[in-house]
Every structure is written in C-alpha cells, then in structure tokens.
Structure 1
C-alpha cells in the first residue's frame, strides 16, 4: 500500500479503537481523568443557558447571620423547635431539617424539638462517612442496589428524633472543584439502606414510596432516569437565593409570608457565614448546602432534573466512536480551505447540539468526544505533515537530480509549464556533441566495473560544463553526449555559450584523460563538434517516461563535425555559421590554436561546409 492510504487506514482503525475504549469506560463511569474538563464544560453550558426561575415547590428558612447574632450559633434545640413550630403553623407539606442532630442536648430542648417535629410531616438529616473518596461498585445489572457504595459509618440522628421524623441522607457527589454534580438517591451503611434527604422529602410531599429499577426511579407515575449508582444528576437554577429564602428570625417573629410556606416543602438549614456547609456552583462560589438539598428535592417533584442515564451515556459512546472517524475522513478527503471549513462546521454543529440538548434537559458529555477525537486527529495531522515533508524531500531530491541532468532554466520552465514541448517546436539552437575516441577497445580490456567508473567521471565533466554555461544535456549516448543551447527559448548568446562550453570541455577532458590511470595508458582521446541552426525540439515517450530531444539537420551536422575534428587532428570543430554568430574573437577560443575557415566534407551531405578547427595547447 502507498503511504497515505495506509496512514488513513491505520488512523481510522486506531481512532475507532480509542473511541470505543473511551466509550466503554464512559458507560461505567470509569474515566475520571476527564471529570475536570467535563466539569468546566458543564459550568460553561450552565452559564450559557443562564439563570432559571424554579417552580414554586420549595422554600428555605435559613439560620443566617442575623439569626445567629440574635440567638447564638448553633441554635439551641428549644429555639430550633420554635422555628419548626412557626413554620408548621403555616401548613407546609413537609418540614425538612438539613441539620445533623446526632448528639444529645439539654433534655428540655430535645423534648421540645421532638414534640415540634411530631406535629408535622418532617425529615431530618443523616450522613454517611466513606472510607475512600472513590468507592468501587458492583456490576449486577438486575440489582438496582448493586452499584450503591457502602458507607463505613453512618451519622444518624438521635433515636427520639428519628422516631417522629423520617431520615434522609444529605451526602452529595462532587467533582474535583467541589461542585455538586449528583445526589446519591440511596445510601448503604452496614445493614441499613436509607433514602437521600431530597428523595425522602419528595416522597413525603407526594405521599408516594419510591420504587427503583436499574437506571430508573419511580415516584408514582413519575419516572426519573438515574445515572450509574442510582444517582440523580443535579443542575442549579441560579445563585444563592434563587429558591425563595427567608430568615429564621422571621419565623421566630411570626412574619413569614404564608404564601411562601403554605403547601410547600420547607427546608430549614444553616447559611451562617463561615459555617462550612457551602459549595461552589456555576452561578455562585458559596451556595449553601441547604439550597443544594432544596434544589434536588425540587427536581424530584417537578421532574426537571437533567437526564444522564445509560441511554445518554450510550449515545455519548457512539459519538466518541463516530466523531474521530468523521473528522479523520474529512481531513483525508479535503485538505483545503473548504475541507477545514467543513471540519469546523461539524465541530460547531456538535457543540451547538450539545448545548441545545443541555438546555432541554439532556446531559451529553462534552469532554468525551473531545478526548476521543483530538488525539487521533492531531496524530493523523502530524503524520500527514511528516509524510508531506518526506514527499517534499523526495521531490527536492528529484528536482536536484533533474537539475543535474537538465539546465536549471529548463527544469524551472518545465515546473512552471508542464505542457512545455508537449507539441514539437521549431526554433534556432546551438548543438554541441562530445565523444570519446577508442573507448570501445578500452571497454573490452578493463571490464564493466572499470568502464562504469570511467563513464561516471566523463559524464560528471560534461554535466558541470553544461550547467556552468547554461546548456542542457539532452542525452548521454554510451561514450558521448549531446548538449543543447537555446531551450526553453533561443537567446542571442546561444552560439557564444556553446563555443565557450565546447572549449571548456576540451580543457577539462585533456588533463583528465592524460592523468587517468586506465584511459591515459591506452591513449584514449576525445572529439567535439559544434553547429547552430534550426532544430525541432519535442518530447519523446509517453506516460511517466518522457525525455526532451532535438532533431534536424543542425543536429546531424554537429555530430559529423566530431569526425572532421578527428580527421584533421584537432579537438574541436565549429561550423562557420555558428562562429559567425559567436564571433571569431570569442575569448575562450584564444586559449588554444584556432584555424579556419576551411571547407570540409560532411558525411551524408552532397556539399561541404566551412568549419573552424581548434585545439588546446598540449600539456
């Protein structure tokens, strides 16, 4: 397979495995390393949606700073009993004390509070103490209690209070920042199984016992999806005070508004500054714990809690599997502005759908698709960049090779115009032929390996001479070569440069042959012919294998001039036509012996031509 198709295939496979792995772990809630990112994105979505007005179900009577200043803190049981009695007199549905009454107080005060609780439908708080921050849970899908962690110790209210009021556990599940995200609806401690504080409140308010099934809670005809571990996902209506809150001093003074209490759930709890029972939320860095409990109870009764159950997690997992595959496919399909725009549109569409779903009560993970898609896409992009760089290096090497074979101007012209010479072109040019004399016998004597070494040096000399004079080596022919001056376009100095190149070849070939250990001993010589005139330039071949070539009488004459030079005992023969354009006073020609013009017979032609003969000074 080619590199890029293989990369795409491997990337799609690995992204599917990565997304599938994360999705599988997400179904069981086992990817805690994403919790921090998910918490931040959840807070962001909450802020985008904004503050909501809670349904008129719950009110809070707060033991606030004013209450503490007037009555001391913590409130004694007798004063607390007066608050409960004042609230009860306004006929609430449930009075819930978000206070831990685990230690006995003065007998009179405890008795008074127990008597006050007996006069209403009441709930009092308990709490579980867990030995670890994270508890392992069971996996029995048919047992709704299998995933409930067990507390090492339960902080239960005094028996005299629990005899007259229901018990509800006030534990919450927070993220790393301390923000409450879930309310465990059931808690276990030893042989006990207790409902949460909000669930006990909602159950009493509705007069219905809760019924659990895996992933679901039923309160009569209300069916509420639950997350792993029978937890209720919780969102917040707004900052502190969003749920109607009144001071306990108003209850003690008898000034509570009846409409805010009658037929409502009333949660009594502490909001004293420095009391410690506060939580950070998207809307408020110090939301009182009593408002967290009141919010959860409202969710249960109104049925407006956000849904994050197994079905939602399953869709999350499918997105984690599909999104990286889609993005990698788009990257592989169109690496252009249009392709990147489509990818950005997909990402924005997913974000918009995620926020819209959150606004409509569905908590789809935002962190999971990012974690599933970002690493594979970045790795795929990095791998493509690496392949592109390797391809660029390959093309650079090929370009360098082309530069070594073709003149720089010609290769650059081909790069700019791929159709150059797709059709034959007739134009003027200067042609140089060079050939080794006696090389056939040398080849038979020295063997193939030594022949290759000799030819390699020979071709290097030709290539350097052509490049330095702006010519193009159009072909190497065994022990000879043809050089062309006049492509891609003819120039006024083509003849001058061709003559200079021919002299340069002679000056380079002579010492090289003389000093070569093999060629020098066998008296190998060379000959050069130069002519100028009209030629036909074209490409020969098809498909990926083409070469530039020139044909015509000018080419034939230049080739025959090598014979003229050899017959006359000179190194170089130049046609008078070329010398007329180059000028006999051309500086390179004065470095040796120049004779002419003289009439010379050209093999294959009826008429001879005038030529100039040149040879360099012997070493």
Structure 2
C-alpha cells in the first residue's frame, strides 16, 4: 500500500486533535457554541421517534380554569387547597406533591387549615432556587462531583408552618437555548447547603426508600438513576399536554375523584389555569404545563424510562468526535471521485442511524458535537485536495483568467486609448443605479446550479443590453445584481436623465423577461431598482495582478439602500429627488407609469432621511 502524502498525514493528525479537543470539552459539560444546535437536533429526534404512552405512575390534579371559576378567584384560598389535599388523601395515594410555592403567608385560618391537611398525609412541597441567570448552569471547576451541582444564590422555601408539616424539594428545571426543559437537576446547592430536587424528594417519600449520591448516579433504594454532569437527569417527553393523566381539581372539591386514578399513585397538584401556571415549549407541545414537566421527571425516576446521558455516553461521543473526522478525511484522501463521496456518505448515514437508534432506545448521543468535529476537517481537506489537483487547478486558473479579462462594458475602448485612466482616484458627479433580484438565494437552493447559471446569464444579458443602449457602464455584476454608473469615462450633462431612462427600460425589460420564465420561478423572484445622483470617487481598486474600475462614496451607498426602500414600499424603482432634480425636464418623457412622491425615507445606516420618488408600472 503506498505511503500517504505528508499533507494527508498532517490532515489526519489535525482532524484527530480537533475532534479530541471538542470531545474533552464535551466530557466536562455542554459546549455553549454548539448547545443551540444540539437542542434543535434533539427536538427533531424527539419528533422522529414520536410520542409514547406514559406509565401509570403519576396523576396530575390540575388547578385549571374551571377550578378557579368554582373557587371564585386564583390563586386559590389555602382553605380550598386544604380541601383538595384532604380529598386526595382520602383515596390513599402513595404521596402528594404540591408543585406551587407557599412562600407568602395567607390568612391565619386558611394557613392553619392547610398545615393540618399536610400533617395528615405524605406530602412534599415545592421550593425554588434563585439563580444569577435565567438558565442555571453547573460550575466549570472542582474535582468533587458535588462541586458541579447547579448553584443558587438562595432558596425560596415554604412558610415555616408548612415546612414543619411536610418535606420539600427544589422544583427548578434547566432549559436549553430553545427554552425546552432539557434536564431536571437532582441536587441543588446554595453556599455549602445541598438540597434535593422536588422530584427526588417526592419519589423518596412515595417509595419509602432512601436516596444516596454516587459519582454520576443517584441511588433510590436498590435502583440507580444515571445522571449527566452536575447530577442532571435528562427528560424524554411522552407527548403533548394530557399525555400524563390529568384531572381537574374541581373534581376533588366536588367529591368526584376516581379512586383508581389516585390510590397507590403519586399525585401532583399544580396550576394549569390560563395565565397562572408556568408553561414550556417541548417537541410535542409549545405550551406544556410546568406541572407536567415535573410529572415527567417523577415518572422517569419511578419507571426508569428516561434518557441516559452520563459520562459513559459522553465517552462514546468522544470516540465519534475523533473517529468520524479520521474516517472521512481518509476516504477523501483515498478516493477523490464519486466512489469516495459515496463511501463518505455511507459512513455519515451509518452514524446517523446509530445516533437515532440509540436515542430511540433511551441513549442520548450528541448529534451536534460530532457534526462540528467532522465539518471543518472534511471541508478544509476536501478544499485542499481540490486545490492540489492539477486538472482542477488548471481549469480554475483558466476560468479565473477569463473572468479577469472582463471589464465594465463601455470602458474597454477608452482604457485601450488611455492606459493611465483613473490611475489616481477622481471625485466627480455621477448617477449610480443598482438592480437586484428578490428571492434569488432561496430560489438558487431549489433549482440547482445549472438552472441558476442559465437564469443569471439571461439576467446579465438583459442588463448589459439596456445599460449599453442608455450609455451607462456596468462596473460589476454582484451575484444576482448589478452596479451601473452614468458619468464614466467622462461626466455628461444628461447623465441623470440617462440614468432615469435606464431605470424605466430595465423595469420594462425585467417584467417581460420574468413573464417568459416558468411559473414556479416567477412566483419566487422579483426585482428592485435604486438610483441616486451625487459625488462619487471613481478609481481603480485591486492589486497589481487584478484591478477593477468602480466608484465609492456615500452616493453609491444611498443608491444601494434605495433598493430596500423600493422593496419596502412594493415599488419597482426608488429614485432620489436629487437625481430627478438634476435630470430636469429631460427625464419627464421616460417616466410614464405612476410616479409617487416625494416621500421621506429612512435609509439603513444613515441618520438623515432622504426625499425619494417611487415608480410603479401602469401594468
């Protein structure tokens, strides 16, 4: 087997180093730069895998709109809440969780009634951590496992009389950059104080089993709960709201609680009343009640059916972060043809299948981190291979040489007579016209490179013909647009009028040209034109090997921004008042159609407004 070239060995080493660096950072926790991508990809995998029925573990008793109406107002009086607790307790649940903060005192009689109700049952109350950020994070240092527990400034605890009547746990969840609750921390800290989560405390109360903290795990009795960095338990949602059985609290007040839904179940009381309860976006529901998020975590702890993302899973991610770039770079180096690309695609598809299958079976392998590890090495090495290929390099050199010979139409002959033309910048008056295709970027993604090339060639030919006929010079084609000058090689008195005439002719030709295109293309693109007259700096820009004649200055910037004014006002052309005043009566024969204005338009990047005329065709 031939020895790999030196540049291939260097590429393999750099790819492995890049992947290893990302993987090691991933072992310590999420990487902020790719956290948003991972959140989106995780939601996508949730949708692909689909919903599933929730185990019959938890029943939600919801303080909903009907309950609030029956009670007379919201929040409910604590005496009413006591009645709900008593009605649930009479059905003998394993435990009752109150997913609401009882931090403020109510009336003495109501608070006393609720405290007595809590003493008579196995209840867990909610506390909350106050964090310096809206999204709590784990610490970035510390070798002890507990050093990476989410750290709160303080805890908001239930009133003392309630805390003496029942236990409590911290109810916060951790969201990702999309706002989706991605984790429920099992432990929280504030200073030297460690508090369990509401979910963990409720499960311990329901099962009567003690909890213990082990490195990367929480033990509940004999069962182990695999957690991520900082004792975070990932969430895997069952479906939209109501997937976990939910009963209105008014059923408890009316004595209509079904015994089979309460007895030997964990019951969580929480608010779903409109405007009164916290809600979160999830892959299955944009407004999932917070009580159902907590209920999901409690169900995971009991049924053991949540996602697994612990150090072992992150080590697998590290392996993919190193292995995938090495394999893809190796394939690109081995076969720089269709076979190599197909094999690389097969490797990517195999990894995607493994990732999705693991997620379906409750193992959360990172998707964004391996992609980030693969793309830079593969793209850079692929680009280097193209650059090193002699045939490709020669082809690109020929194309580049051909493009470099193209100069602004109308100036080639003048340059031949005067090679020193604009060797030094010149300030002069000129009219500047910009034309651009709307919606072209999205269209180019849909129709492919061959159709894009044909479309642009037709557009360029049209612009070239009309500009040449009006005596202008195209200084550059910019992808799907063009910059046109009237005033080169020498300024003329009728430059503003010629620019106005060119705008109208371009608009007429563009409408006719668009009418010849397929409906699927016409429906997605349009055009806009902006024109202004003023002082420009005409010069040659570039180095010794390549120079281009162009104009710069505020006049050019204004003409470009006027296209935005045209698009914003649903007009085809936006012409500055300065250009029309400079054109004078010479422009009037060309402005058939509907000319509205002047309007005072604000231009992006400019503090002062500009008087602008808008032109729309009669058709």
Q: Tell me whether the two structures share a fold, i.e. TM-score over 0.5.
A: yes
After superposition, the Cα gap between the structure-2 partners of 1:78 and 1:387, relative to the gap in structure 1 and judged at 3 Å, is: same
1:595 aligns with none
Q: How many residues align?
A: 395
Deviation string 1:173-199 (CA, Å, 9 cap, x unpaired) is: 100111011111011124432110110
SS of the equivalent of 1:146 reads helix
Note the C-alpha offset of 1:276.
4.7
2:152 aligns with 151
Deviation string 1:5-51 (CA, Å, 9 cap, x unpaired) is: 23312211111111011001000015111111111111111111111
1:356 aligns with 357
How much is the aligned-residue C-alpha RMSD, in angstroms?
2.0
1:50 aligns with 50
1:19 aligns with 19
After superposition, the Cα gap between the structure-2 partners of 1:342 and 1:251, relative to the gap in structure 1 and judged at 3 Å, is: same
2:68 aligns with 68
Note the C-alpha offset of 1:332.
1.1
Separation in structure 1 between the aligned mates of residue 70 and residue 30 of structure 2, nearest angstrom: 49
2:604 aligns with none
Separation in structure 2 between the aligned mates of residue 327 and residue 30 of structure 1, nearest angstrom: 25
List aligned pairs for 1:132-151, cutoff 5 A: 132=133, 133=135, 135=137, 137=139, 139-141=141-143, 143-151=144-152
Separation in structure 1 between the aligned mates of residue 24 and residue 396 of structure 2, nearest angstrom: 44
After superposition, the Cα gap between the structure-2 partners of 1:168 and 1:280, relative to the gap in structure 1 and judged at 3 Å, is: same
SS of the equivalent of 1:150 reads coil
Separation in structure 2 between the aligned mates of residue 389 and residue 197 of structure 1, nearest angstrom: 66
1:87 aligns with 2:88: yes
Separation in structure 1 between the aligned mates of residue 195 and residue 395 of structure 2, nearest angstrom: 71
SS of the equivalent of 1:96 reads strand
2:606 aligns with none
Separation in structure 1 between the aligned mates of residue 145 and residue 393 of structure 2, nearest angstrom: 60
1:298 aligns with 299
2:203 aligns with 202
Separation in structure 2 between the aligned mates of residue 170 and residue 134 of structure 1, nearest angstrom: 13
After superposition, the Cα gap between the structure-2 partners of 1:396 and 1:272, relative to the gap in structure 1 and judged at 3 Å, is: closer
1:258 aligns with 259
Separation in structure 1 between the aligned mates of residue 173 and residue 61 of structure 2, nearest angstrom: 21
Note the C-alpha offset of 1:375.
1.1
Deviation string 1:99-157 (CA, Å, 9 cap, x unpaired) is: 0000000011101111111111100000000123454526444x331211321121100
Structure 2's unaligned 5+ residue stretches are: 399-619
1:247 aligns with 248
Separation in structure 2 between the aligned mates of residue 109 and residue 193 of structure 1, nearest angstrom: 31
Note the C-alpha offset of 1:382.
1.2
2:375 aligns with 374
Separation in structure 2 between the aligned mates of residue 247 and residue 358 of structure 1, nearest angstrom: 34
Decide whether the 8 Å contact of 2:136 with 2:174 is kept in 1. no
1:521 aligns with none
After superposition, the Cα gap between the structure-2 partners of 1:243 and 1:395, relative to the gap in structure 1 and judged at 3 Å, is: closer
Deviation string 1:334-355 (CA, Å, 9 cap, x unpaired) is: 1222222211111111111111
List aligned pairs for 1:160-309, cutoff 5 A: 160-309=161-310
SS of the equivalent of 1:340 reads helix
List aligned pairs for 1:338-357, cutoff 5 A: 338-357=339-358
Note the C-alpha offset of 1:223.
0.9
1:597 aligns with none
After superposition, the Cα gap between the structure-2 partners of 1:158 and 1:352, relative to the gap in structure 1 and judged at 3 Å, is: same
After superposition, the Cα gap between the structure-2 partners of 1:80 and 1:26, relative to the gap in structure 1 and judged at 3 Å, is: same
1:35 aligns with 35
Deviation string 1:388-420 (CA, Å, 9 cap, x unpaired) is: 2576429999xxxxxxxxxxxxxxxxxxxxxxx
More moved, 108-117 vs 187-196: 187-196
Separation in structure 2 between the aligned mates of residue 182 and residue 332 of structure 1, nearest angstrom: 41
2:59 aligns with 59
Decide whether the 8 Å contact of 2:173 with 2:185 is kept in 1. yes
After superposition, the Cα gap between the structure-2 partners of 1:395 and 1:10, relative to the gap in structure 1 and judged at 3 Å, is: same
List aligned pairs for 1:164-563, cutoff 5 A: 164-388=165-389, 392-393=393-394
Separation in structure 2 between the aligned mates of residue 139 and residue 159 of structure 1, nearest angstrom: 35
Separation in structure 1 between the aligned mates of residue 396 and residue 264 of structure 2, nearest angstrom: 81
Note the C-alpha offset of 1:248.
0.5
Separation in structure 1 between the aligned mates of residue 140 and residue 211 of structure 2, nearest angstrom: 22
Separation in structure 2 between the aligned mates of residue 381 and residue 4 of structure 1, nearest angstrom: 15
After superposition, the Cα gap between the structure-2 partners of 1:107 and 1:11, relative to the gap in structure 1 and judged at 3 Å, is: same
After superposition, the Cα gap between the structure-2 partners of 1:213 and 1:139, relative to the gap in structure 1 and judged at 3 Å, is: farther
Separation in structure 1 between the aligned mates of residue 138 and residue 264 of structure 2, nearest angstrom: 41
After superposition, the Cα gap between the structure-2 partners of 1:361 and 1:98, relative to the gap in structure 1 and judged at 3 Å, is: same
SS of the equivalent of 1:53 reads coil
Note the C-alpha offset of 1:275.
2.0
Separation in structure 2 between the aligned mates of residue 395 and residue 277 of structure 1, nearest angstrom: 59
Separation in structure 2 between the aligned mates of residue 290 and residue 353 of structure 1, nearest angstrom: 33
Decide whether the 8 Å contact of 2:138 with 2:151 is kept in 1. no
2:110 aligns with 109
SS of the equivalent of 2:106 reads coil
Separation in structure 1 between the aligned mates of residue 15 and residue 239 of structure 2, nearest angstrom: 39
SS of the equivalent of 1:296 reads helix
1:128 aligns with 129
After superposition, the Cα gap between the structure-2 partners of 1:179 and 1:193, relative to the gap in structure 1 and judged at 3 Å, is: same
Note the C-alpha offset of 1:381.
1.1
Deviation string 1:205-226 (CA, Å, 9 cap, x unpaired) is: 1111110111011111101111
Decide whether the 8 Å contact of 1:167 with 1:194 is kept in 2. no
More moved, 97-106 vs 254-263: 254-263
Decide whether the 8 Å contact of 2:174 with 2:182 is kept in 1. yes
Decide whether the 8 Å contact of 2:186 with 2:200 is kept in 1. yes
Separation in structure 2 between the aligned mates of residue 276 and residue 175 of structure 1, nearest angstrom: 20
Decide whether the 8 Å contact of 1:144 with 1:212 is kept in 2. no
Question: Which TM-score applies when normalising by structure 2?
Answer: 0.62
Decide whether the 8 Å contact of 1:138 with 1:148 is kept in 2. no
